[in-house]
Amino acid sequence: MTTDTLLASSAPLTMTSLDIAELLESRHDKVKQSIERLAGRGVIGQPPMGDHLYTDVQGKQRTISVYRLEKRDTYVVVAQLSPEFTARLVDRWQELEARAA
């Protein structure tokens, strides 16, 4: 298999709407609403949704629906919600990309 084939077949890095909410210290439902609004206006593509398993404050396993966004769209969402947190987003992407390398 060639390097081009490997690159073409590898899935792009994504960040979840829950990750963004945590970075922004914001409510997840508000981040999801912003994503839906931006996608509805065509500013970002409609991101895929998936389930995320987490442990709530009482120690119970729960499932929450999250959006999975590619890099460009995360910048657009953060710029819309909270421009002052853009540096945190840049740092998080650098961390994700370093792990993937």
Ranges under pLDDT 50 in the chain: 1-9
pTM comes to 0.76
35 three-class SS? helix
- What pLDDT, in 10s, does the model give residues 24-46? 999 999 999 999 999 999 999 99
Amino acid 88 reads: R
Q: Which two tokens stand for residue 75?
A: 């910048």
d(CA 61, CA 45): 31
DSSP 53-93: EEE-TTS-EEEEEEEEE-HHHHHHHHHHH-GGGHHHHHHHH
